[in-house]
């Protein structure tokens, strides 16, 4: 009777080991292989990746200069405004090509385009002072808002795209994309480099 239980126990152990071995083998086979196409598709799916946001307090002054005192008094305009402008920079991952992702045995190298402006906007209200000449106010009345917004955004974008700002934004883009790729290629070293802009 004891032999029967012994044989039964051995059979159960062998069966269990077989099930575990089969499961492990199936699991290893089912694990997807990380290829350049897998990484490229995952990055492209992200579209435009915003990696840096700048917020500036902007103050602008716009005047319509004229050599004629009377023309300036009748048709002139002087605008003063200040407010908060936001500029978002990032990388358009949809621009990545097959040549931009290189997968080696132990390393993945991704070449990304340099950061660019995604969008710019005014945050909140603008404090606006608008002075107009007598005739301009009557016949060509302009509250100055659109001119002020355009100039403030232009100024904010210039501040966001200095060499120092772009260098910081590119570094943040590299760090963010490195984290994304490391999530896909967990067992590989990931390097992200910025492609130098070529003049069109």
pLDDT in tens, 36-49: 899 999 999 999 99
pLDDT category at 20 given cuts 50, 70, 90 is very low
- The pLDDT, as a whole number, for residue 115 is 95
**What does the pLDDT look like over 110-139, one tens digit per residue?**
999 999 999 999 998 888 887 765 655 665
| Res. 13: pLDDT tops 60 | no
- Sheet with 107-112, side-by-side order of all strands: 101-103, 107-112, 189-194
Output the six-digit token pair for 124: 């909140």
Buried residues in 152-184 as b, exposed as e (16+ CB within 10 A): bbeebbeebbeeebbeebbebbbebbeebbeeb
Nearest partner of 74 among 147, 142, 137, judged by Cα: 137
- The pLDDT, as a whole number, for residue 93 is 93
163-184 and 36-44 helices, crossing angle to 10°? 120
Helix (H), strand (E) at residue 97: none
**What does the pLDDT look like over 176-185, one tens digit per residue?**
999 999 999 8
Q: Average pLDDT over the chain, rounded to whole?
A: 79
Does residue 51 contact residue 169 with C-beta atoms inside 8 Å?
A: yes
């Amino acid at each position: 009777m004891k032999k029967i239980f012994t044989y039964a126990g051995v059979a159960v152990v062998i069966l269990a080991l077989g099930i575990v071995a089969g499961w492990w083998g199936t699991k290893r086979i089912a694990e997807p292989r990380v290829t350049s196409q897998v990484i490229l598709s995952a990055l492209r799916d992200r579209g435009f990746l915003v990696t840096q946001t700048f917020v500036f307090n902007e103050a602008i002054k716009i005047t319509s200069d004229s050599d004629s005192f009377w023309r300036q008094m009748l048709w002139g305009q002087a605008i003063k405004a200040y407010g908060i402008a936001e500029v978002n920079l990032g990388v358009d991952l949809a621009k990545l090509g097959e040549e931009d992702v290189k997968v080696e045995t132990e390393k993945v190298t991704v070449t990304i385009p340099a950061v660019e402006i995604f969008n710019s906007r005014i945050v909140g209200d603008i404090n606006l002072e608008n002075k107009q000449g007598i005739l301009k106010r009557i016949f060509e009345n302009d509250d100055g808002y659109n001119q002020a917004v355009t100039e403030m955004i232009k100024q904010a974008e210039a501040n966001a795209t200095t060499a120092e700002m772009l260098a910081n934004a590119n570094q943040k883009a590299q760090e963010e994309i490195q984290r994304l790729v490391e999530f896909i290629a967990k067992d590989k070293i990931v390097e992200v480099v910025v492609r130098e802009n070529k003049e069109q």
